[in-house]
Amino acid sequence: MATGRLRVIRDEEIRINLLGIDAKQDVWAERARFLTGGLIQVVTRYPALMPRRTGLPQSTVTCNLALMRENPAFQGEVLNNMGRTFGLLSQAATEIERYEAVKKLIEERTQ
């Protein structure tokens, strides 16, 4: 799509739908960064609750469940992150339905 070859598709409805899908790619990349940024911040903000050990090949995080249960600020932040995650997953499900609809449209019109 980035090469401008969509004009070879004569079906206007398919072309418009494909352009809409292409436009969403950058949005989803940004949403993924937003989501993972929040998860990383929880580990950084609550080091006593989630101690990290760094090393090769990767860092590991352990959880102190007793302290987590006693910390309402931590619980609130985790719930906030969960809400964002579920919201993004819901949006992703809607986008998948849209991709499936475009796929079906293409299949119907190219047989």
Domain ranges of the chain: 5-109
CB-CB contact of 1 with 19 (8 Å): yes
The model carries a pTM of 0.57
Residue pLDDT, tens place only, 54-107: 766 667 778 899 999 999 999 998 888 888 888 888 888 888 888 888 888 888
Residue pLDDT, tens place only, 21-33: 766 666 777 777 7
| CA dist., res. 103 & res. 85, Å (int) | 27
